[in-house]
Structure 1
Amino acid sequence: MSFVQIQCTRCKGVFRDRAGRLQDGYSRQCPSCEVVLFFAEDSQYPFIKRAMRNARTARKEQHEVEVVRFAAPEPRMARSRSFAGRTRSAGRED
């Protein structure tokens, strides 16, 4: 899960949010001054544009990592010693 830093357009405070949430049409309230920020690709604020660009890059990188992880064959897990098919020893009787 990746996060993106966002700078408020009003108080200039910096906070962060998940990159998956920052998409066109998303809105978030600034934790310090409580102004509502609207996120759009064609925003007039450079802070919003930068956050959207960084979120898009982070989502793309995360997607590429997931593709590589799913494409690679899973390593075979070694059987645990406790579940290795133990049987009673031949010399022991009840």
Structure 2
Amino acid sequence: MFRDHARRLQDGYSRQCPGCEVVLFFAEDSQHPFVKRAMRDARKVRKLLREAEAASISEPQSQKTPSRRFAGRTRSAQRSD
């Protein structure tokens, strides 16, 4: 068993095993149970990543924290001579 990024693991992806150096091909219609599980898990992870990205994009600006650079500063009154 080895790990790879879920974004890479899509239909048609191939990778050489670091242990035995055999090239593995990942396909949606594979009959191997480990390949099926890896493809299913990668699909779920990609879906969660897309949902999290969409939620962060759709978050309104008002809920984001304001910049601390100008927090508490007010315009000073002009000096009189």
TM-score with structure 2 length normalisation? 0.79
Cα RMSD (Å): 2.2
* Higher share in helix: 2
Residues 49-94 of structure 1: per-residue CA shift (max 9 Å, x gap):
000000000000000000110000132522415xx6888xx5xxxx
Would you tell me which structure has more strand in proportion to its own residues?
Answer: 1
Unmatched 5+ stretches in structure 1? 1-13
Aligned to 1:80: 69
The total of aligned residue pairs comes to: 75
Which stretch of structure 1 is more off in the superposition, 31-40 or 69-78?
69-78
Give TM-score scaled by structure 1 length: 0.69
Gapped regions of structure 2 (runs ≥ 5): none
User: Quick check: 1:35 aligned with 2:22?
Assistant: yes
Structure 1 stretches of at least 4 aligned residues deviating more than 3 Å after TM superposition: 84-87
Task: Calculate percent identity across the aligned residue pairs.
Answer: 59
Counterpart residue number, 2:37: 50
